[in-house]
Structure 1
Amino acid sequence: MEIIRYAALKPRPWRNGGGVTRELARFPESAAEGTQDGSWDWRVSIAEMSKAGDFSAFPGMDRVLTVVEGELLLLSVDGAEHPLEQYRPFRFSGDAAAAGALPTGNIRDLNVITRRGAFKGYTSIIELSKKRAHPLFGGQLGILLQGQATATPGAADGGASAAGTEPLDRYDAVVGTDSASPEILGRGFLAVVSIDPAGD
Protein backbone atom coordinates (compact mmCIF):
# COMPACT_ATOMS: atom_id res chain seq x y z
CA MET A 1 0.00 0.00 0.00
CA GLU A 2 1.43 3.33 -1.07
CA ILE A 3 0.71 6.46 0.99
CA ILE A 4 1.96 9.88 -0.11
CA ARG A 5 2.58 11.88 3.05
CA TYR A 6 1.66 15.52 2.54
CA ALA A 7 4.05 16.69 5.28
CA ALA A 8 6.97 15.28 3.28
CA LEU A 9 6.16 17.17 0.06
CA LYS A 10 8.27 20.14 -0.93
CA PRO A 11 6.37 23.41 -1.49
CA ARG A 12 7.16 25.14 -4.78
CA PRO A 13 6.37 28.86 -5.10
CA TRP A 14 4.27 30.20 -7.94
CA ARG A 15 5.91 32.48 -10.47
CA ASN A 16 3.65 35.37 -9.45
CA GLY A 17 4.30 34.87 -5.73
CA GLY A 18 0.60 34.34 -5.04
CA GLY A 19 0.95 30.91 -3.50
CA VAL A 20 2.76 27.60 -3.35
CA THR A 21 2.02 24.16 -4.79
CA ARG A 22 2.77 20.69 -3.43
CA GLU A 23 2.70 17.92 -6.01
CA LEU A 24 1.11 14.64 -4.91
CA ALA A 25 1.58 12.66 -8.12
CA ARG A 26 2.31 12.97 -11.82
CA PHE A 27 2.63 10.76 -14.89
CA PRO A 28 5.07 9.91 -16.19
CA GLU A 29 7.03 10.13 -12.97
CA SER A 30 10.18 10.78 -14.99
CA ALA A 31 8.75 14.09 -16.25
CA ALA A 32 10.38 17.19 -14.82
CA GLU A 33 8.89 18.25 -11.50
CA GLY A 34 7.78 21.82 -11.03
CA THR A 35 4.60 23.84 -10.92
CA GLN A 36 4.89 25.32 -14.42
CA ASP A 37 6.24 22.34 -16.33
CA GLY A 38 3.92 20.61 -18.79
CA SER A 39 6.08 17.63 -19.75
CA TRP A 40 3.80 15.30 -17.81
CA ASP A 41 0.47 13.90 -19.04
CA TRP A 42 -1.32 14.36 -15.73
CA ARG A 43 -0.64 15.86 -12.33
CA VAL A 44 -2.43 16.02 -8.98
CA SER A 45 -1.40 18.77 -6.58
CA ILE A 46 -2.56 20.93 -3.68
CA ALA A 47 -2.01 24.68 -3.86
CA GLU A 48 -2.14 27.33 -1.15
CA MET A 49 -3.36 30.65 -2.52
CA SER A 50 -2.63 33.72 -0.42
CA LYS A 51 -3.34 36.61 -2.79
CA ALA A 52 -5.39 37.38 -5.88
CA GLY A 53 -3.74 36.92 -9.25
CA ASP A 54 -3.47 35.10 -12.54
CA PHE A 55 -3.25 31.34 -12.82
CA SER A 56 -0.57 29.69 -14.93
CA ALA A 57 -1.75 28.52 -18.34
CA PHE A 58 -1.52 24.82 -19.25
CA PRO A 59 -2.07 24.68 -23.02
CA GLY A 60 -3.57 21.43 -24.26
CA MET A 61 -4.62 20.44 -20.73
CA ASP A 62 -7.92 20.25 -18.85
CA ARG A 63 -8.20 21.19 -15.19
CA VAL A 64 -10.47 20.25 -12.30
CA LEU A 65 -10.10 22.60 -9.34
CA THR A 66 -11.68 22.00 -5.92
CA VAL A 67 -11.46 24.37 -2.94
CA VAL A 68 -10.57 22.13 0.02
CA GLU A 69 -9.84 24.76 2.69
CA GLY A 70 -11.29 28.24 3.01
CA GLU A 71 -14.71 29.51 2.07
CA LEU A 72 -14.67 30.92 -1.44
CA LEU A 73 -12.54 31.37 -4.55
CA LEU A 74 -13.80 33.76 -7.21
CA LEU A 75 -12.40 32.18 -10.35
CA SER A 76 -12.45 34.16 -13.58
CA VAL A 77 -12.16 31.99 -16.73
CA ASP A 78 -11.90 33.91 -20.02
CA GLY A 79 -13.71 36.81 -18.38
CA ALA A 80 -16.58 34.79 -16.87
CA GLU A 81 -16.67 34.74 -13.07
CA HIS A 82 -17.35 31.51 -11.18
CA PRO A 83 -17.78 31.54 -7.37
CA LEU A 84 -16.26 28.25 -6.16
CA GLU A 85 -17.33 27.07 -2.72
CA GLN A 86 -15.59 24.39 -0.68
CA TYR A 87 -15.83 20.79 -1.96
CA ARG A 88 -17.44 21.72 -5.31
CA PRO A 89 -15.16 20.55 -8.15
CA PHE A 90 -15.02 22.82 -11.22
CA ARG A 91 -13.69 21.83 -14.65
CA PHE A 92 -12.14 24.32 -17.09
CA SER A 93 -9.63 24.46 -19.91
CA GLY A 94 -5.96 24.93 -19.16
CA ASP A 95 -5.81 27.08 -22.31
CA ALA A 96 -8.15 29.66 -20.76
CA ALA A 97 -7.03 32.92 -19.22
CA ALA A 98 -7.80 32.28 -15.55
CA ALA A 99 -7.42 34.39 -12.41
CA GLY A 100 -8.54 34.07 -8.81
CA ALA A 101 -9.74 36.50 -6.14
CA LEU A 102 -10.05 35.75 -2.42
CA PRO A 103 -13.03 37.65 -0.96
CA THR A 104 -13.04 35.60 2.28
CA GLY A 105 -9.30 35.06 2.77
CA ASN A 106 -6.71 32.45 1.87
CA ILE A 107 -7.75 29.15 0.32
CA ARG A 108 -6.23 25.78 -0.42
CA ASP A 109 -7.27 23.94 -3.56
CA LEU A 110 -6.88 20.50 -5.08
CA ASN A 111 -5.82 20.57 -8.74
CA VAL A 112 -6.16 17.74 -11.24
CA ILE A 113 -4.61 18.55 -14.62
CA THR A 114 -4.74 16.09 -17.54
CA ARG A 115 -3.51 16.20 -21.12
CA ARG A 116 -6.51 16.56 -23.42
CA GLY A 117 -7.00 13.55 -25.66
CA ALA A 118 -4.78 11.33 -23.52
CA PHE A 119 -6.39 11.31 -20.06
CA LYS A 120 -9.47 12.63 -18.30
CA GLY A 121 -9.49 13.55 -14.62
CA TYR A 122 -12.38 13.48 -12.17
CA THR A 123 -12.70 14.60 -8.55
CA SER A 124 -15.42 13.37 -6.20
CA ILE A 125 -15.86 14.38 -2.56
CA ILE A 126 -17.27 11.64 -0.34
CA GLU A 127 -18.16 11.45 3.33
CA LEU A 128 -16.28 8.67 5.09
CA SER A 129 -17.86 5.98 7.25
CA LYS A 130 -16.43 4.16 10.26
CA LYS A 131 -18.48 1.08 9.38
CA ARG A 132 -18.21 0.82 5.60
CA ALA A 133 -14.73 1.04 4.09
CA HIS A 134 -14.22 2.98 0.86
CA PRO A 135 -12.00 1.08 -1.62
CA LEU A 136 -9.55 2.77 -3.98
CA PHE A 137 -8.92 1.15 -7.35
CA GLY A 138 -6.23 1.49 -9.99
CA GLY A 139 -6.02 5.02 -11.40
CA GLN A 140 -7.38 6.54 -8.20
CA LEU A 141 -5.97 8.62 -5.36
CA GLY A 142 -7.81 9.09 -2.07
CA ILE A 143 -6.88 12.33 -0.28
CA LEU A 144 -8.04 12.96 3.29
CA LEU A 145 -9.48 16.47 3.39
CA GLN A 146 -10.92 16.59 6.87
CA GLY A 147 -11.41 14.37 9.89
CA GLN A 148 -9.70 11.18 11.03
CA ALA A 149 -9.15 8.09 8.92
CA THR A 150 -7.05 4.97 8.46
CA ALA A 151 -5.94 3.11 5.36
CA THR A 152 -5.78 -0.68 5.23
CA PRO A 153 -4.28 -2.71 2.40
CA GLY A 154 -6.88 -4.87 0.70
CA ALA A 155 -6.43 -8.61 0.41
CA ALA A 156 -5.30 -9.78 -3.02
CA ASP A 157 -7.74 -12.70 -2.94
CA GLY A 158 -10.72 -10.43 -2.34
CA GLY A 159 -11.18 -11.67 1.20
CA ALA A 160 -10.85 -9.78 4.44
CA SER A 161 -8.46 -6.85 4.54
CA ALA A 162 -4.88 -7.62 5.44
CA ALA A 163 -3.06 -6.31 8.46
CA GLY A 164 -1.08 -3.09 8.21
CA THR A 165 -3.53 -0.31 9.05
CA GLU A 166 -1.99 3.16 8.71
CA PRO A 167 -3.38 6.38 10.19
CA LEU A 168 -3.79 9.26 7.75
CA ASP A 169 -3.01 12.91 8.38
CA ARG A 170 -4.78 15.74 6.60
CA TYR A 171 -4.01 15.79 2.84
CA ASP A 172 -2.21 12.44 2.89
CA ALA A 173 -2.97 10.53 -0.32
CA VAL A 174 -3.51 6.79 -0.70
CA VAL A 175 -2.74 5.26 -4.10
CA GLY A 176 -5.36 2.85 -5.37
CA THR A 177 -4.65 -0.52 -6.99
CA ASP A 178 -6.80 -3.17 -8.66
CA SER A 179 -4.98 -6.22 -7.27
CA ALA A 180 -5.37 -5.42 -3.57
CA SER A 181 -7.42 -2.25 -3.35
CA PRO A 182 -6.65 -0.27 -0.18
CA GLU A 183 -9.63 0.68 1.95
CA ILE A 184 -10.28 3.91 3.87
CA LEU A 185 -12.29 3.98 7.10
CA GLY A 186 -12.97 6.97 9.32
CA ARG A 187 -15.00 10.08 9.83
CA GLY A 188 -14.63 13.15 7.66
CA PHE A 189 -14.28 13.89 3.96
CA LEU A 190 -12.17 12.21 1.30
CA ALA A 191 -11.38 13.48 -2.19
CA VAL A 192 -11.29 10.63 -4.70
CA VAL A 193 -9.32 11.59 -7.80
CA SER A 194 -9.73 9.30 -10.80
CA ILE A 195 -7.46 9.49 -13.85
CA ASP A 196 -8.88 7.57 -16.80
CA PRO A 197 -7.32 7.07 -20.24
CA ALA A 198 -9.20 9.14 -22.82
CA GLY A 199 -11.84 7.13 -24.62
CA ASP A 200 -12.57 4.81 -21.67
Structure 2
Amino acid sequence: MEIIRFAQLKPQPWRNGGGVTRELASHPEAASAQDGAWDWRVSIADVVSAGDFSMFPGMERVITVIDGELLLLTVDGEEHPLEKYRPFRFSGEAASSSALPTGDIRDLNVIARAGEFKGYTSIIELSKKRAHPVFEGQLAVLLEGKASVTSGAQTAESAEAPDGEAATTEPVDLARYDAVVGSDTRSPEILGRGFLAVISIDRVEHAHS
Protein backbone atom coordinates (compact mmCIF):
# COMPACT_ATOMS: atom_id res chain seq x y z
CA MET A 1 0.00 0.00 0.00
CA GLU A 2 1.47 3.31 -1.09
CA ILE A 3 0.71 6.63 0.60
CA ILE A 4 2.11 9.93 -0.69
CA ARG A 5 2.54 12.25 2.28
CA PHE A 6 1.77 15.85 1.32
CA ALA A 7 4.04 17.21 4.07
CA GLN A 8 7.03 15.55 2.40
CA LEU A 9 6.47 17.04 -1.06
CA LYS A 10 8.81 19.79 -2.18
CA PRO A 11 7.11 23.02 -3.30
CA GLN A 12 8.16 24.15 -6.78
CA PRO A 13 7.75 27.90 -7.39
CA TRP A 14 5.93 28.93 -10.55
CA ARG A 15 7.95 30.59 -13.28
CA ASN A 16 5.76 33.71 -13.00
CA GLY A 17 5.92 33.83 -9.20
CA GLY A 18 2.14 33.52 -8.84
CA GLY A 19 2.22 30.42 -6.68
CA VAL A 20 3.84 27.08 -5.90
CA THR A 21 3.07 23.55 -7.07
CA ARG A 22 3.58 20.24 -5.26
CA GLU A 23 3.60 17.22 -7.55
CA LEU A 24 1.77 14.16 -6.19
CA ALA A 25 2.39 11.83 -9.11
CA SER A 26 3.39 11.82 -12.76
CA HIS A 27 4.07 9.37 -15.58
CA PRO A 28 6.67 8.57 -16.62
CA GLU A 29 8.27 9.53 -13.31
CA ALA A 30 11.69 10.19 -14.85
CA ALA A 31 10.18 13.04 -16.89
CA SER A 32 8.87 15.08 -13.95
CA ALA A 33 12.06 17.14 -13.78
CA GLN A 34 11.45 18.39 -17.32
CA ASP A 35 8.28 20.45 -17.43
CA GLY A 36 5.78 18.93 -19.84
CA ALA A 37 7.85 15.85 -20.70
CA TRP A 38 5.42 13.64 -18.81
CA ASP A 39 2.21 12.11 -20.20
CA TRP A 40 0.18 12.99 -17.12
CA ARG A 41 0.67 14.74 -13.82
CA VAL A 42 -1.37 15.23 -10.64
CA SER A 43 -0.40 18.19 -8.47
CA ILE A 44 -1.66 20.60 -5.83
CA ALA A 45 -1.01 24.30 -6.35
CA ASP A 46 -1.23 27.31 -4.04
CA VAL A 47 -2.39 30.32 -6.07
CA VAL A 48 -1.40 33.50 -4.25
CA SER A 49 -1.66 36.13 -6.97
CA ALA A 50 -3.70 36.72 -10.10
CA GLY A 51 -2.01 36.16 -13.42
CA ASP A 52 -1.47 33.93 -16.42
CA PHE A 53 -1.38 30.15 -16.18
CA SER A 54 1.42 28.23 -17.92
CA MET A 55 0.40 26.72 -21.24
CA PHE A 56 0.68 22.98 -21.79
CA PRO A 57 0.44 22.28 -25.54
CA GLY A 58 -1.10 18.91 -26.40
CA MET A 59 -2.50 18.52 -22.89
CA GLU A 60 -5.95 18.60 -21.33
CA ARG A 61 -6.43 19.95 -17.81
CA VAL A 62 -8.91 19.38 -15.02
CA ILE A 63 -8.68 21.94 -12.22
CA THR A 64 -10.58 21.79 -8.91
CA VAL A 65 -10.53 24.42 -6.16
CA ILE A 66 -9.93 22.49 -2.90
CA ASP A 67 -9.32 25.32 -0.46
CA GLY A 68 -10.58 28.89 -0.57
CA GLU A 69 -13.84 30.02 -2.10
CA LEU A 70 -13.48 31.08 -5.69
CA LEU A 71 -11.07 31.08 -8.61
CA LEU A 72 -12.07 33.26 -11.55
CA LEU A 73 -10.56 31.48 -14.53
CA THR A 74 -10.49 33.12 -17.95
CA VAL A 75 -9.95 30.64 -20.79
CA ASP A 76 -9.52 32.04 -24.31
CA GLY A 77 -11.33 35.22 -23.25
CA GLU A 78 -14.27 33.50 -21.54
CA GLU A 79 -14.66 33.86 -17.78
CA HIS A 80 -15.49 30.81 -15.63
CA PRO A 81 -16.14 31.18 -11.86
CA LEU A 82 -14.75 27.99 -10.28
CA GLU A 83 -16.28 27.20 -6.90
CA LYS A 84 -14.83 24.80 -4.36
CA TYR A 85 -15.07 21.08 -5.22
CA ARG A 86 -16.35 21.68 -8.77
CA PRO A 87 -13.91 20.17 -11.28
CA PHE A 88 -13.46 22.12 -14.52
CA ARG A 89 -11.95 20.75 -17.75
CA PHE A 90 -10.15 22.90 -20.32
CA SER A 91 -7.44 22.71 -22.95
CA GLY A 92 -3.84 23.10 -21.84
CA GLU A 93 -3.23 24.99 -25.09
CA ALA A 94 -5.76 27.69 -24.22
CA ALA A 95 -4.60 31.11 -23.07
CA SER A 96 -5.76 31.08 -19.44
CA SER A 97 -5.41 33.44 -16.51
CA SER A 98 -6.79 33.65 -13.00
CA ALA A 99 -8.19 36.25 -10.64
CA LEU A 100 -8.72 35.74 -6.90
CA PRO A 101 -11.80 37.74 -5.85
CA THR A 102 -12.00 36.07 -2.41
CA GLY A 103 -8.28 35.67 -1.67
CA ASP A 104 -5.72 32.89 -2.05
CA ILE A 105 -6.88 29.45 -3.14
CA ARG A 106 -5.42 25.97 -3.39
CA ASP A 107 -6.28 23.81 -6.37
CA LEU A 108 -5.91 20.23 -7.52
CA ASN A 109 -4.57 19.88 -11.06
CA VAL A 110 -4.81 16.88 -13.34
CA ILE A 111 -3.00 17.31 -16.66
CA ALA A 112 -3.00 14.54 -19.27
CA ARG A 113 -1.70 14.22 -22.83
CA ALA A 114 -4.73 14.56 -25.12
CA GLY A 115 -5.42 11.48 -27.21
CA GLU A 116 -3.23 9.28 -25.00
CA PHE A 117 -4.67 9.65 -21.49
CA LYS A 118 -7.87 11.06 -20.03
CA GLY A 119 -7.92 12.44 -16.50
CA TYR A 120 -11.03 12.60 -14.31
CA THR A 121 -11.59 14.14 -10.88
CA SER A 122 -14.59 13.35 -8.70
CA ILE A 123 -15.26 14.62 -5.19
CA ILE A 124 -16.91 12.15 -2.84
CA GLU A 125 -18.08 12.32 0.75
CA LEU A 126 -16.47 9.71 2.96
CA SER A 127 -18.40 7.27 5.10
CA LYS A 128 -17.40 5.82 8.49
CA LYS A 129 -19.28 2.62 7.71
CA ARG A 130 -18.68 1.93 4.04
CA ALA A 131 -15.05 1.95 2.92
CA HIS A 132 -14.17 3.61 -0.38
CA PRO A 133 -11.82 1.43 -2.48
CA VAL A 134 -9.04 2.93 -4.59
CA PHE A 135 -8.34 0.93 -7.76
CA GLU A 136 -5.42 0.65 -10.16
CA GLY A 137 -5.02 3.89 -12.15
CA GLN A 138 -6.60 5.96 -9.36
CA LEU A 139 -5.25 8.34 -6.76
CA ALA A 140 -7.36 9.38 -3.75
CA VAL A 141 -6.54 12.64 -1.96
CA LEU A 142 -8.00 13.50 1.45
CA LEU A 143 -9.31 17.06 1.09
CA GLU A 144 -10.73 17.58 4.55
CA GLY A 145 -11.82 15.65 7.61
CA LYS A 146 -10.41 12.59 9.31
CA ALA A 147 -9.75 9.32 7.53
CA SER A 148 -7.70 6.14 7.67
CA VAL A 149 -6.74 3.61 5.03
CA THR A 150 -6.29 -0.17 5.12
CA SER A 151 -4.90 -2.40 2.41
CA GLY A 152 -8.27 -3.99 1.70
CA ALA A 153 -9.38 -7.56 1.17
CA GLN A 154 -6.88 -10.07 -0.05
CA THR A 155 -7.20 -11.43 -3.56
CA ALA A 156 -5.77 -14.66 -4.95
CA GLU A 157 -2.89 -12.75 -6.53
CA SER A 158 -1.91 -10.90 -3.37
CA ALA A 159 -2.12 -14.10 -1.31
CA GLU A 160 1.15 -15.08 -2.96
CA ALA A 161 2.81 -11.82 -1.97
CA PRO A 162 6.03 -12.04 0.08
CA ASP A 163 5.69 -12.42 3.85
CA GLY A 164 5.13 -9.13 5.63
CA GLU A 165 2.82 -7.59 3.05
CA ALA A 166 -0.19 -9.34 4.52
CA ALA A 167 0.35 -7.52 7.80
CA THR A 168 -0.66 -4.11 6.42
CA THR A 169 -4.34 -4.43 7.33
CA GLU A 170 -3.92 -2.12 10.33
CA PRO A 171 -5.53 1.27 9.57
CA VAL A 172 -3.08 4.06 8.74
CA ASP A 173 -4.20 7.63 9.46
CA LEU A 174 -4.19 10.14 6.63
CA ALA A 175 -3.33 13.82 7.04
CA ARG A 176 -4.92 16.52 4.91
CA TYR A 177 -3.90 16.28 1.22
CA ASP A 178 -2.20 12.91 1.66
CA ALA A 179 -2.76 10.70 -1.39
CA VAL A 180 -3.40 6.96 -1.58
CA VAL A 181 -2.21 5.15 -4.70
CA GLY A 182 -4.73 2.66 -6.05
CA SER A 183 -4.13 -1.02 -6.72
CA ASP A 184 -6.12 -3.94 -8.09
CA THR A 185 -4.37 -6.66 -6.10
CA ARG A 186 -5.21 -5.30 -2.65
CA SER A 187 -7.28 -2.20 -3.30
CA PRO A 188 -6.69 0.27 -0.44
CA GLU A 189 -9.90 1.15 1.39
CA ILE A 190 -10.55 4.53 3.00
CA LEU A 191 -12.93 5.09 5.90
CA GLY A 192 -13.67 8.33 7.70
CA ARG A 193 -15.54 11.57 7.66
CA GLY A 194 -14.88 14.38 5.24
CA PHE A 195 -14.22 14.75 1.53
CA LEU A 196 -12.00 12.81 -0.84
CA ALA A 197 -10.89 13.64 -4.37
CA VAL A 198 -10.68 10.52 -6.53
CA ILE A 199 -8.52 11.04 -9.60
CA SER A 200 -8.66 8.47 -12.40
CA ILE A 201 -6.16 8.38 -15.24
CA ASP A 202 -7.42 6.24 -18.12
CA ARG A 203 -5.36 5.28 -21.14
CA VAL A 204 -7.18 6.18 -24.36
CA GLU A 205 -7.81 3.09 -26.49
CA HIS A 206 -6.96 3.63 -30.15
CA ALA A 207 -9.10 1.94 -32.79
CA HIS A 208 -7.07 -0.17 -35.18
CA SER A 209 -7.85 0.51 -38.80
* Residue 145 of structure 1: aligned partner: 143
Matches within 5 A, 1:88-127: 88-127=86-125
Look up the match of 2:170. Answer: 164
Q: Mapping of 1:54-133 within 5 angstroms?
A: 54-133=52-131
What SS does the aligned partner of 2:72 have? strand
Separation (CA, whole Å) in 2 of partners of 1:189 and 1:63: 21
Alignment counterpart, residue 194 of structure 2, candidates 178, 188, 196: 188
Please give the residue correspondences for 1:168-179 in structure 2 after superposition, counting only pairs within 5 Å: 168-179=174-185
Amino acid at match of 1:115: R
Shift of 1:198: 0.9
C-alpha contact 2:110 2:119 (8 A) present in aligned 1: yes
User: Quick check: which one's helix share is greater?
Assistant: 2
Between the aligned partners of 2:140 and 2:38, the Cα distance in structure 1 is 21
Provide the C-alpha distance between the structure 2 equivalents of 1:187 and 1:55, rounded to a whole number of angstroms.
Answer: 33
Following superposition, the deviation at residue 9 of structure 1 comes to 0.1
Q: In structure 2, do the counterparts of structure 1 residues 21 and 155 end up closer, same or farther at CA, with 3 Å as the change threshold?
A: same
Q: CA RMSD in A?
A: 1.5
8 Å CA contact retained: 2:70, 2:105: yes
In the alignment, is the contact (CA less than 8 A) between 1:150 and 1:185 conserved in 2? yes
**Is the CA contact (8 Å cut-off) linking 1:155 and 1:162 kept in structure 2?**
no
Which residue of 1 is the match for residue 43 of structure 2?
Answer: 45
Does the aligned pair in 2 maintain the 1:12–1:21 contact within 8 Å? Answer: yes
Q: Secondary structure at the match of 1:30?
A: helix
Cα deviation, 1:125-180, whole Å, max 9, x if unaligned, reads: 00000000000000000000000000100133289x96231100000000000111
* Contact kept? 2:140, 2:198, Cα under 8 Å: yes
CA distance in 1, matches of 2:168, 2:22: 31
Name which one, 1 or 2, has greater alpha-carbon Rg: 2
Aligned partner of 1:2 in structure 2 is 2
Identity of aligned residues (%): 70
